Amino acid sequence: MNSIKNKLLLVLLLVTLLPTLLIGGYTFFSTTESLKESSISAHKSRMLLVQEQINGYLGNVSSDVFYLRDFPALHLYLSALESDSSNSERLLLTNLRSSFAKFSAQKRIYDQVRFIDISGKEVVRVNHSGGKTKIVSETKLKSKKTRGYVSESLKLKKDKLLITKLDLNRELGKIEEPYNPTIRFATSVFDKKNKLQGVVILNVKAQKIIDIIASQSIDGETLAFIDSDGYYYYHPDGKKVWSSIRELNKEANLFKERPELKDKISRATDVQDIETSDDIVTFVPIKIADNSFLLGNVVDISPKSIIFKAVNNFLYVFLGIALLALLLTVALAFFLSNSISKPILTLTKSVEKLSMGDLETPITIESNDEIGSLAKAVELLRKSMQILMKRAS
């Protein structure tokens, strides 16, 4: 009869565990996939937020540089250059400087607002630093003819815009300290006779861009900002920042560290992610000026142990619940198999005694099912046999 008990136990386990395993497995798979997608989506959203904030910060710079190019005060000054009145020229130059200063004070995002003539010399320069606007005196104005962005700006056709790469500002050929990240927007200036007179250049305070990216950094992850060649503008490791040969020449380069990322990041047109054996790499290109200029790429490298933390937590909870359910199922199966097989075993022993001539021991089984009915029938048989035996004697 132990075989009946074992068979009952096996059947009960199969009936309860098989559907539970199938449903649980499907639930686990679908939930973990959903959590993975949710985690990756959250990282993509962070990248898009960075992209949106940077574009918002730089969104009006192109229109600002064209606004200054067409500034009435600038063209009044250019007209005065054609006259023989030095007094008028000086007065209008003072007015131009004052107008540029008001513009700088209102905008507050431009480190320098300049008008440079065709010789490469600064004619007007307004600095904005520490919340203060300052007109640079004529004696401190410098020639910038050797700077590449000036010579390139002077070659621009009308209505064309030059945007320089993000770099560290230099004064007198040396990197300014403390470091002053800068992006320059420039356009050529023509007078009413369509003659080139110089360029308007806006130096954007780019530290704000670095701060936007750094604010999204999370412990355990590597959030970096790289140029098109893979050199770092920003990296959590301060030893790697401004690593290109144009800047601090530290030679730290993402594409050299992770060559498998180069092609995919270089070809990216929107936010994307790559899953490797150890981490998830999410990246987005930062394009400005109506997507006409690639400023760089924001790249987030996150270990799977961090990005899939919610998945791991769910796994532990799921395994705990599954183990508890398994123990309860086994215990319930044992209980049910015992409750079914025990009356059968008891009845079997009673029948065996009866077959061996024991007519005195009553057959009593507390059961209201078919086994109980069978026990009652056997008990009636025992009593009948007992009566017959007494009559026969």
The pLDDT value recorded for residue 104 is 97
Contact between 124 and 93 under an 8 Å Cβ cutoff? The reply is yes
pLDDT band, very low/low/confident/very high, at 14 (cuts 50, 70, 90): confident
Distance (Å, whole) CA 283 – CA 254: 12
Indicate if the pLDDT at residue 372 is higher than 90. no
Spatial strand order of the sheet with 272-275 comes to: 232-234, 222-226, 293-303, 279-288, 272-275
What are the CB-based long-range contacts (under 8 Å, 24+) for 287-292? 288/54, 288/55, 288/58, 288/61, 288/163, 289/58, 289/61, 289/62, 289/161, 289/163, 290/62
Tokens representing 221 are: 């992850």
CA distance 201 to 272: 34
On the question of a cis peptide bond just before residue 343, with omega within 30 degrees of 0, the verdict is: no
Q: How far is CA 149 from CA 44, 167, 328, 350, in A?
A: 34, 12, 76, 108
Whose tokens are 């017959």? That residue is 388
Question: pLDDT of 325-364, one tens digit each?
Answer: 777 777 776 776 676 667 777 767 777 776 777 667 777 7
Torsion of CA 305, 31, 15, 334, to 10 degrees: 50
**Pick from 241, 245, 275: which is nearest to 260 by CA?**
275
Domains in the chain with CATH codes: 2-28+312-392 (no CATH), 61-205 (3.30.450.20), 209-307 (3.30.450.20)
Interval 138-163: pLDDT, tens: 999 999 999 999 999 999 999 999 99
Instruction: Output DSSP code: residue 117.
Output: E
What's the mean pLDDT in 128-142? 95
> What percentage of the chain has pLDDT greater than the value 90?
54
Q: pTM for this structure?
A: 0.75
Amino acid at 172: L
What pLDDT is attached to residue 139? 94
* 225 phi and psi angles, rounded to 5 deg: -125, 120
In which residue are the tokens 């936010």 written?
271
Name the CA dihedral angle for 61, 66, 71, 74, rounded to a multiple of 10 degrees. 100
Of 268, 296, 294, the closest CA to residue 281 belongs to: 268
Confidence of residue 134 (pLDDT cuts 50, 70, 90): very high
pLDDT averaged over every residue in the chain: 86
- Contacts of 180 by beta carbon, 8 Å cutoff, 6+ apart: 111, 168, 169, 205, 207
